[in-house]
Amino acid sequence: MRLSKALLLMAAVSMIPSGLRAEPVRAGWTELVSFPQQKAQLKAKLDTGAKTSALNGHDQRRFQRGGTDWISFVLTGTAGEHMRIERPILRLAKIRRAGVPTETRPVVAMMVCAAGITQRTEFTVTDRRGMAFPVLLGRRFLAGRIVVDAGAQGLNDGACGS
């Protein structure tokens, strides 16, 4: 009987989707995150109140490529380096906030690493230069992967393994 329970547990663990772990990683409400494809690190707020993640992209330009809508924007890393990023627009998201008119933002997919977890996730692109954090990681990235300790900051160094 114990062997069948162990096999059942092993089977259940093997069915956990990529990027999800049996035990979520603990992280502070602010962390340094990495964008491996751009070789950039940025300060992020882990925002359990946001469904979709958001990324600071200024100097935005929309264009067509191969019949698809794309966006080009500038991403600024913590070292002050500026990178022009081009991504296809996956969809437009309506952002609703209390006391502010609804805003429509383009959504792009990018690889991001937080607390040692690398995952492709969707980001709305908006000009966040006036904000304290250029990146917000929302519930779609956090769920099942990271538990946010609201009393802690910088528990992880932004390093990425996989």
The residue ranges of every structural domain in the chain are 24-153
Q: What is the pLDDT of residues 48-94, one digit of tens each?
A: 999 999 999 999 999 999 999 999 999 988 888 899 999 999 999 98
Which overall architecture, per CATH, does domain 24-153 show?
Answer: Beta Barrel (2.40)
pTM for the model stands at 0.81
Question: Phi, psi (5° rounding) for residue 89?
Answer: -85, 120
What is the tens place of the pLDDT at every residue in 106-133?
A: 999 999 999 999 999 999 999 888 788 9
Say how far apart CA 2 and CA 8 lie, in whole Å. Answer: 10
Q: What is the DSSP string of 70-136?
A: EEEEEEE-TTS-EEEEEEE--EEEEEEETTEEEEEEEEEEEEEEETTEEEEEEEEEE--TTSS-SEE
